[in-house]
Amino acid sequence: MTPIICHSALEAVSLIESNETLWTHSMGATPKVLLDALALHALTKQGLTLLQLHTERAESLSAAHLKPHIRHRCYFGGAPTRELLQQGEADYVPIFLSEVPKLFRSGEQKIDTAIIQVSPPDKHGICSLGISVEATLAACQVAGKIIAHINPMMPRTHGDGFIHYNKLAAVFEQSMPLPQHLINSSDKTSQAIGQHVAQLVRDGDCLQMGIGAIPDAVLSCLTQHKNLGVHTELFSDGVLNLVELGVINNSLKKVHPGKTVTGFALGSQRLYDFVDDNPSVIFMDIEQVNDTAIIRKNPNVMSINSALQVDISGQVCADSLGTKIYSGVGGQMDFIRGAGLSEGGRSVIALPSTAANGTVSRIATVLSPGAGVVTTRAHVHYIVTEYGCAYLRAKSLRERARALIDIAHPKFREQLCQEAFEMWQLRV
């Protein structure tokens, strides 16, 4: 079957009927042009559910007048959905990122329509999911129909993210720049954290890191390292710089040696140009990328993740501010556990010592009421702030409290010591 060639995005999404469950391609491949059209089409429908991870530039679907027509169901919150989640107007599903494709493939979560953005078909009629494979490959495999924005500016990437043109139900072609994330890691706090984390990285390590100021600051401090590898759910420009310097060559990895493995990428146009038709970078199904059993096969896995709050026992909250959902469980535990089981592996949680312009300590005596424990205190290895590094593995609660208070902001340390005794009976 050949797809319906549509003359507008609205025509393409008009195949969607009331009471359908939809999946949208996420991250940098969010099909904005189709989702903007869906914001119009949804007004004529009822009972739509939109499944998603973090989306970019999809604010049109969060408008108040759409609430009776479409409900967001989020495996990870982002800017377009955060306010809806915190108001109870959208649904948050806590789940490990590695398990989202399993939900789809098992049939536990049905998908009527997948809405995606792809590169133009090649001479074999095959399109690419481009810079974001994540759970979208699985969604396409089980969806009743697939509606695609064909974007000539979408890189054709190697790995798992291929889909034949004839599998698409409707297509709309329009050239459109992809969203770019230009991270500035030059602020003093991020640089200090980056330097502390970089000291924990050894030659030959296999890295997993997120995107943002802190991961890029860490990567900027690794220019003298050798033979680093990358097996990560996402990456940005900081990785590219180290590839070009020869620091990252993936030579010591056991799984996909010589290849940078990722689930999605988000960064500059330079990054998108780099991954375009580049066989040394493979974009894989997130069920594979984030599989603990696969991660652990690489030796010396170094997992670097962030958090919103850490208590003095080492519990890590990464998805909410108290009861207010901020992001999601994501792949943090997939990689922390994989790193912990890897021969020579370690994991790091890196975060600024304070929030709210220095008025709140992110290292807390107890987590805020309702805060989600994404990483348990039994899984934690290192916690890093701009004030140093605390190693918690196999440490007692008293030893943990002391180590964490030592890397809290100085103005909160005395209070934390006092509360550690009052709440935990710990003399630190």
Element (H, E) at 347: strand 346-350
Distance between CA atoms of residues 363 and 368, nearest Å:
11
233 included as an active-site residue: yes
| Cβ neighbourhood burial of 397 (10 Å; 0-12, 13-18, 19+) | middle
Angle at 330 between CA 325 and CA 335, to 5 degrees: 140
131 alpha carbon, distance to own chain's centre: 13
Coil, strand or helix: which one is 137?
helix
Asked if residue 399 lies in contact with residue 357, where contact means CB atoms within 8 angstroms, the answer is: no
Coil, strand or helix: which one is 1?
coil
Distance between CA atoms of residues 238 and 217, nearest Å:
8
Distance between CA atoms of residues 233 and 367, nearest Å:
27
Distance between CA atoms of residues 84 and 82, nearest Å:
5
Task: Single out the catalytic residue among 233, 287, 386, 419.
Answer: 233
* Residues in Cβ contact with 69 at an 8 Å cutoff, skipping those fewer than 6 apart: 42, 43, 45, 46, 48
Asked if residue 242 lies in contact with residue 209, where contact means CB atoms within 8 angstroms, the answer is: no
Residue for token pair 């890897």? 342
Annotated catalytic residues are: 233
